[in-house]
Amino acid sequence: MKYLLDTHVWIWSQEHPERLGRNTRHALADVDEERLISPISTLEIARLLHLGLLRLKHTFAEWRTLSLAHLHATMAPLTHDIAAEAYNLPGNFHKDPIDRVLVATARMERLTLVTADDLILRYPHVKALRADR
């Protein structure tokens, strides 16, 4: 299986692993599962740090390098097609641009989006794994 981690799941995996559910912990520990992180999540974390809404155990550059290595995660693509798809999603989806890009990435790359976001979990047009159970 190929998993795309939502931003909060990436943070939780390093800062608050107890918030992750058993299925998510298993998926993140299984070396046969592929884990991807979108560059849009890097943007979101940088924004939260800039606004003082998030603190990490290391500098962001160190944290990012260590966390990606710890997760054995690779970078998800962020293409023009994904950017355009973010505002061409089927059905009704909420307005958050980060979530729209993550959902578009998961859909276009056939990834399972690991999230605890109820709005994403209720959206029927993306495959998702509930992160906190």
Residue 133: is its pLDDT beyond 90?
A: no
Q: What is the pLDDT of residues 31-84, one digit of tens each?
A: 899 999 999 999 999 999 999 999 999 999 999 999 999 999 999 999 999 999
pLDDT value of residue 109: 98
Sequence spans of domains, the chain: 2-130
Alpha-carbon span 103 to 95, nearest angstrom? 12
Q: Once rounded to an integer, what is the mean pLDDT over residues 101-128?
A: 98
Two tokens, residue 60: 């962001």
pTM score of the predicted model: 0.96
Residue 89 is predicted with a pLDDT of: 98
Chain-wide mean pLDDT for the chain? 97
Fold of 2-130: Rossmann fold (3.40.50)
Residue for token digits 């997760």?
71
